[in-house]
Structure 1
Amino acid sequence: MTIARSPRVLVDATSVPADRGGVGRYLDGLLGALAVHTDIDLSVVCQRTDQERYSRILPNSQVIAAPAAAAHRPARLAWEQTGLPLLAQQVNASVLHSPFYTCPLRAGCPVTVTVHDATFFTEPEHYEKSRGTFFRSAIKTSLRRAERVIVPSKATRDELIRLLDADPTRIDVAYHGVDHTAFHVPSEDEKARVRARLGLSSSYLAFLGAKEPRKNVPNLIRGWIAAVKDRVEPPALVIAGGQGHDDEIDRVAAEVPANLRLLRPGYLRYADLPGFLGGAIICAYPSHGEGFGLPILEAMACGAPVLTTPRLSLPEVGGDAVAYTKPEAAQIAEDLAKLLDDPALRAKLGAAGLARAKEFNWASSAEAHVASWTRAVRHQG
């Protein structure tokens, strides 16, 4: 009788940026769940600045620091093609997982790649030309060279099949999860602390995410202005997250009437996110399209009523527990006004979102990843 051997997996975490962001949340959640998984033998290679962090998350796994030069993107991409395959051989990996679009062309073992979304193809106008060209090429290469491709939603899988004629038998869906300890219904003290830090004494609408054109922040600002400008006590709008590269945000922000408050605090402390999201009267995320939509899941887990768009994967995450709008400013304004005028609906959405968020967890995501890695090893064998 042949006894199936657990795969030895090398995860390349060197693509996590300094601000962590979405890919950082993905790997933190996934690796945290894998730390208690008994069916794999795990090694992780990461930036030197992340070695201590991942050593805490994975106390029983091998955590290796990449060369210091890999902190710079061009050098990291070059190391990915040369140094990473050598490292896979040194740790005797039976599968190499690349979690952010790119992978070695010749790894010496099966490779799996996470392709987070297909919006580089469906929404090309919302990306800088060089960035869009790079990621479209990376996705096409990964679809050709990887043993299996992991995606966070059925919508992403379907778009890759439709647009790129990807082989559906080699694509595995692994939904993201949410850390229900970190993202929770906040206490009144947590809400008050965030309001004090932001200098807010009244209600506010929240957006959390990168300032990319795809996120549709300018139309959110325009819709908010139209929805609240004539109200006696208009709620503020807080646009939190990284700076991104959407120059239109500055132009629209300059048009905000004097009686309204638009705040752009940049990154918030991780510990403040539940108070920020759960303390908002509405969390608005009118994106043109997402590969998953982690910000709306995190807001739902904090008990916030969410307004988003029914684009690509977002209905897979939100279901009937969120309100939907269209990306145009006039429709955002109309739907924001409806929610602002209906406290009962906001309370209903908050409760429904909290219940739905419990269906998403990193343990289930880890199981789906392990299943994909096992398929990759078996196919090679």
Structure 2
Amino acid sequence: MAPRILVDATAVPADRGALGRYVDGLLAALDGLGADLAVACQRADEERYGSLAPNARVVPGPATLAHRANRLVWEQSGLPYVAEQVGADVIHLPFYSLPVRAGRPTVVTVHDLAAFTEPETYDPIRATYIRSATRAAARLATRLVVPSKATRDELVRLLAADPTRIDVAYHGVDHEVFHRPTEAERARVSDRLGLHGRPYIAFLGALEPRKNVPNLIRGWVRAVAELPEPPALVLAGSGGWDDEVDAALAMVPHRLRVVRPGYLSSPSLAGYFGGALTVVLPSRDEGFGLPVLEAMACGAPVLASRHAALPEVGGEAVAYTEPDVESIGAALTRLIADAPRRESLAAAAYERSRDFDWTTSAEAHLAAYYRATEQ
């Protein structure tokens, strides 16, 4: 008999972000595979998950879950109660933490170990919380799901996690949302950005230190400052903190243009990625790097740092750089000047992206749920 799975989606933030896209893609695929699902969520997401997973039982939590501290308290007592209510055989927690006394098997997704390997790139309070939650998950969870072999290896190396309790489940990509855009889609995004057809370098992610945005800004300046028609730099994404971003922006010459549009909705992302001269993710650490895969699916040439899981995702279809200013600047200079190389990368990236889908990811998650109930 198939296990009933309770997925705790209460940690998904209002702006969705990569965590939201992971949970959304996974739930829709699990529902499509006929999994016996229940979903705990914030009240604002009840209709969304009812639509994404129409066969699932959706259980909205109290309104106070919008506040992180309240959510963490509720996770310890309220979530086990919901699991009892819906008759769950296993609880999947897709964001690090778990109830200490769940009363049934638990599967926890550990996205990365950056709080251990790059602690200086986090707010100290957040880093302390993530390290504590990850240690607890490694010790208490029945099974751990990770999005890459690189993350699995870091879990074993840093926390001595039992490799036989770790399941690798690559993220997928929604190929309907992330597709080669039409000229009209490109034009709409370009106009919204105020660029009106001007070429641009694209970044998507939180402006937090491990994303390495200050070095991206400085490297871009090196690459384009002397060009007669320099491409703009677009830093899209919401939230995060990085004190060096403003300092780096203050040093940008006046003739160069930086656009900071904030959050871009999912329907805009195909035009945003696919309309870019190149998409750059020069992170110091990534457990997977979902924007890299999404940009690939949009037929964009991608430049990523050769760190952690990014080469595992991009393979030979992505150009790579070290995360320092000089390397980023040199790599951008080469790509901007070499249109055939960009075209070749774009074609290879699109083809490689077809190897990643949420159904395959959901099948790997289902296998983890079955293993958890058998232990």
CA offsets per residue over residues 245-271 of structure 1, 9 Å max, x none? 112111111111111111111111221
SS in 1 for 2:322: coil
| 1:188 matches 2:183 | yes
Give the AA of the match of 1:135. Answer: I
| 1:140 matches 2:143 | no
Deviation at 1:243, TM superposition (A): 3.3
| 1:63 matches 2:63 | no
CA offsets per residue over residues 212-249 of structure 1, 9 Å max, x none? 10000000000000100001110000000013111211
| 1:335 matches 2:357 | no
* Residue 52 of structure 1: aligned partner: 47
Deviation at 1:67, TM superposition (A): 1.1
* Residue 350 of structure 1: aligned partner: 346
CA offsets per residue over residues 1-47 of structure 1, 9 Å max, x none? xxxx1001011100001111111000000001011112x31100100
CA offsets per residue over residues 314-350 of structure 1, 9 Å max, x none? 0110000000001101110011000011100000000
With structure 2 as the length reference, what TM-score do the two structures score? 0.99
* Residue 293 of structure 2: aligned partner: 297
Task: Give runs of aligned pairs for residues 268-283 of structure 1, distance below 5 A.
Answer: 268-283=264-279
Runs of 4 or more, structure 1, over 3 Å off, are: none
| 1:175 matches 2:170 | yes
Write the distance in 2 (CA, Å) between the matches of 1:177 and 1:270: 15
Select the residue among 35, 54, 77 that pairs with 2:72.
Answer: 77
| 1:313 matches 2:309 | yes
| 1:252 matches 2:220 | no
* Residue 91 of structure 1: aligned partner: 86
* Residue 282 of structure 2: aligned partner: 286
SS in 1 for 2:98: coil
Give the AA of the match of 2:134. Answer: I
* Residue 222 of structure 2: aligned partner: 226
Write the distance in 1 (CA, Å) between the matches of 2:269 and 2:91: 33
* Residue 23 of structure 1: aligned partner: 19
| 1:10 matches 2:6 | yes
CA offsets per residue over residues 31-79 of structure 1, 9 Å max, x none? 01011112x3110010000000000111111001001112211111111
With structure 1 as the length reference, what TM-score do the two structures score? 0.97
RMSD, aligned CA = 0.7
Gaps of 5+ in 2: none
| 1:326 matches 2:310 | no
SS in 2 for 1:320: helix
| 1:204 matches 2:200 | yes
Select the residue among 245, 259, 263 that pairs with 2:259.
Answer: 263
Deviation at 1:91, TM superposition (A): 1.0
| 1:113 matches 2:108 | yes
| 1:359 matches 2:360 | no
Q: How many residues align?
A: 374
